[in-house]
Amino acid sequence: MGLTLTEKILKNHLVEGRLVKGEEIAVRIDQTLTQDATGTMAYLEFESMGLDSVKTELSVAYIDHNTLQSGFMNADDHRFIQSAAEKFGLYFSKPGNGICHQVHLERFAVPGKTLIGSDSHTPTAGGMGMLAMGAGGLDVAVAMGGGAYYITMPKVYKINLTGKLSPFVSAKDIILEVLRRLTVKGGVGAVMEYGGEGIKSLTVPERATITNMGAELGATTSIFPSDEVTRDFLRAQNRESAFTYLSADEDAIYDKVVDINLDELEPMIACPHSPDNVVKVSELADKHIKVDQVCIGSCTNSSLTDLLKVAEILKGETVSDNVSLSISPGSRQVLSMLAQDGGFGDILGAGARFLECACGPCIGMGFSPNSGGVSLRTFNRNFEGRSGTPDGQVYLVSPETAAASALFGEITDPRKLPELRGKNNPEKRQLGRKMKVDIPETFLVDDNMIIKPKSLEDRINVETIKGPNIKGLPEAKPLGETMKNEVILKVGDNITTDHIMPAGSKILPYRSNIPHLSQYCFEVCDKSFPDRAKEKGGGIIIGGANYGQGSSREHAALVPLYLGVTAVITKSFARIHRANLINAGILPLEFEREEDYERISQGDELEIFGLQDGIDSGSFVAKVKPCDDKRGEFEVLLRCELSKRQRDILRAGGLLKYVGGR
C-alpha cells in the first residue's frame, strides 16, 4: 500500500510508536523556530534544562511580534533572546528582518525535514514540502534539547486541486474555500495534503499562504509536495542544494478527499468574527459595506508576489479618502525587492502607510481600527477583539480584494477592476494579465540581519541577560488523589487563545511576566475573572467545543496555572492548547456526554475522586454540588485519554519537571 507524503516524512523521523492513526508517536525534529512573544518563555525553559547547546540541525530565534518597544520591556526581551541565541548556538534574526514564517521559508526551510515552532503558523513551511508544526514553547525547548516531539498520528486528507486560478482569484481564496467547507474544527487530528494538477501553477509563496492558514482549520499541519516549482524557488533563493523531490505515492490512501476546481473559484471573504465565516465577495457586492481601513501583510500574504500584485492594482491610483491602508512586507528581502522593482513607489504613491517588516496589526500591535470600524485584512485571524478594537469588524481577504476595496472604499470584487478602472485608462483594462506574477529568477539574498551561531568555544562564557521584566515560571503541583474546586468560569464553543490570554500592544510586552499578564486573562469574556480566580484560590474552567483554538501561546495555559486553575472541562480541545495544558500540569477533561455541559453552571462545586486511577483508565466521575437550591447534587462522567508519557507528565507536575528541568 502506498504512503502519503505525510506518512513518508513521519516514517523517516519516527522515534517511538507506530504509524497507526490515533496513536501517540514521537517524531525527531530537525529544525526549530521561535518568535519573541513566545520565545522568552521557551529560552527560560531551555535554560532551566541545563544544556550548553541546542541539539537540532538548525534552530532560529526570530524577533517579529513585539517590535513597538513602547518601554523597556520588549527591548529587554529581545536582548534576553539574543543572548540566549548566542549562548546556546542558535541563529538570531534581528527585528526588522521580517516575520518568522516568511523568513524561514526564504532562508531555512528544507523539503522533507521536520520543523516545530512556538507559533501556530509554523505550517507555512509546508508550502515547501516540510513537515512543519506549531507547538507550545516548552515542546520547542525540549526539541531544541534533542528531545522528540509527541503528536497523535494524524489522519491525512487530500485537498485535490484541479484547473487554474482566474485573474484576481488567488491562493488566499483557495484556503478560504477550504475553511468554508471544513470549518475551524474540520482539520482537527489531520494533516492537509495538497495535490492534483492544480498545484503546478501555484508558486511556493502561494502554497505557503495556503499551508499557513491551514492552522485555522485546527489541522496538525498542511503540506505540498516538493517539485520543480519548489526547485525554482530554492534556486532563486540561492539554496538549490536543499532541494529534493517529494510526493505521495500514486496509490496512497487518504482519509478524506476534498476536490476544488480552481477554474470555478471566486474571490472569497471571511466575515467577522471567525476565519470560517466565509462567503463569496460577490455576495456582498450589493451591500456596499464601507471600509475604514485595509491592512496588507502578515505571515499569510506578505510575499513579494503578493505585494507586486497590489502595486499593479494601486499604480497611478489614490486610496479612497475614508480608507487608511497599511502595508507590512513579510521580510526585508520582500521590501528591498519591492523598492528595486518600483512596486514600492506605486504603493506609496497611492497613499499607503508602510509599516515595518513584522506582524504589526495582525496581533494588535498598532493600527487598530476606529470603534465599530470595518477592517479588511489579508491576515489569517479575525477573532473578536484581536485587532485591539473590541467592536472592530474584521474581514479576511486576498491582497487583490484588499487593494480593490482600498480604492473604492467599500468591499469590492477585484474582478471588477478592469471594467471600473478601464473606462478612462486603457492600460487598466489589461490588469487581469498582470495578476499572475512569477517569482523572480533570483531573489536579493542578504543575510546580514541574521546572526550566525558561534562555536561552543567562542560562547562558553556568554551569559543570558535578563531585565526586570523577566519573571520566573509558575510551578505546577503534581496531580493528587482528589480535586475539589469551584467552577470559576463557564464559556461557550470555539474559545480562542486570544480570549484566554489576549495579545495586543498593551499586553504583549509582558509575555515574560506571568503575574502581570494574569490581570488580563479572559478579559474579552469576563473582566472579573482574574480577581475571582485569586479570591477563590483557583478553580475549574468549563468550555465548549474546540476550546483553545488559534495560537500556540503557552501563556494561555501558564497564566491559568498561575491563577490556580487545576482542570479545564470541555466538549473538545484544540490540539496545541491541550498539549500546553498537559505540559503546564493542568488536567484537560472532556464531557463523556456533551449534554452535561448544559447541566453545570458557573459557581457549582466539583469534586473529582480517584485522579490517579482516572488518568490511567481515562475516565472520571465528578460529583457536582450546584450553587443554587433549584438543582440537586448530580454526577457527570468525564474522560481524558492520555498516553503513558502524558500521564507521567501530569503526575510529575508538568513537562519541565518531567524532563528534570527543575
Burial code of 31-42, b = ≥16 C-beta within 10 A, e = fewer? bbbbbbbbbbbb
* 125 is a contact residue toward ligand SF4 (CB under 6 A): no
| Cis amide bond preceding 273, omega within 30 | yes
* 575 is a contact residue toward ligand MIC (CB under 6 A): no
Give me 461's grid cell: 562564557
> Which of 546, 552, 570, 646 lies at the binding interface for ligand MIC (CB under 6 A)?
552
Do residues 562 and 474 touch, judged by C-beta distance below 8 A? yes
Task: Answer with the entry of ligand MIC, ligand SF4, none that 203 interacts with (C-beta below 5 to 8 A by kind).
Answer: none
Binders of ligand SF4 among residues 266 to 305 (CB under 6 A) are: 298-299
From CA 597, how far away is CA 328, in angstroms rounded?
42
Convert residues 47-66 into a mask of x (bound to ligand MIC by CB under 6 A) and - (unbound): ------------------x-
From CA 347, how far away is CA 327, in angstroms rounded?
9
Stretch that binds ligand MIC, among 48-56, 117-125, 193-201, 529-537 (CB under 6 A): 117-125
Interface size with ligand MIC, residues (CB under 6 A): 13
Do residues 104 and 124 touch, judged by C-beta distance below 8 A? yes
- Rg of the Cα atoms in the chain: 24
Strand segments (E) across 453-516: 483-490
Binders of ligand MIC among residues 349 to 388 (CB under 6 A) are: 363
Task: Answer with the entry of ligand SF4, ligand MIC, none that 56 interacts with (C-beta below 5 to 8 A by kind).
Answer: none
Q: Which residues contact 286 (CB under 8 A, 6 or more apart)?
A: none
Q: Is the dihedral of CA 42, 47, 51, 54 positive or negative?
A: positive
Shortest reach from residue 466's CB to ligand SF4, in Å: 24
* 97 is a contact residue toward ligand MIC (CB under 6 A): no
Shortest reach from residue 603's CB to ligand MIC, in Å: 30
**Residue with Cβ nearer ligand SF4 (4 or 170):** 170
Q: Which residues pair with 624 in a beta bridge?
A: 606, 634
Shortest reach from residue 189's CB to ligand SF4, in Å: 22
Do residues 320 and 409 touch, judged by C-beta distance below 8 A? yes
Do residues 504 and 523 touch, judged by C-beta distance below 8 A? no
Task: Answer with the entry of ligand MIC, ligand SF4, none that 552 interacts with (C-beta below 5 to 8 A by kind).
Answer: ligand MIC
**Residue with Cβ nearer ligand MIC (120 or 401):** 120
**Residue with Cβ nearer ligand SF4 (153 or 278):** 278
Shortest reach from residue 612's CB to ligand MIC, in Å: 33
Length of the chain: 662
* 120 is a contact residue toward ligand MIC (CB under 6 A): yes
From CA 662, how far away is CA 656, in angstroms rounded?
7
* 363 is a contact residue toward ligand SF4 (CB under 6 A): yes
* 133 is a contact residue toward ligand SF4 (CB under 6 A): no
φ/ψ of residue 241, rounded to 5: -65, -20
* 380 is a contact residue toward ligand SF4 (CB under 6 A): yes
Shortest reach from residue 368's CB to ligand SF4, in Å: 14
Strand order in the sheet with 31-34: 131-134, 114-117, 31-34, 58-62, 91-93, 450-451
Stretch that binds ligand SF4, among 359-367, 382-390, 411-419, 453-461 (CB under 6 A): 359-367
> Which of 29, 503, 507, 584 lies at the binding interface for ligand MIC (CB under 6 A)?
503
Identity of the amino acid at 80: F
> Which of 10, 27, 37, 199 lies at the binding interface for ligand MIC (CB under 6 A)?
37
Strands 393-396 and 374-377, by their bridges, are parallel
> Which of 10, 61, 90, 99 lies at the binding interface for ligand SF4 (CB under 6 A)?
99
3-state secondary structure of 392: coil
By CB under 6 A, name the binding residues for ligand MIC: 37-38, 65, 119-121, 134, 363, 503, 550-553
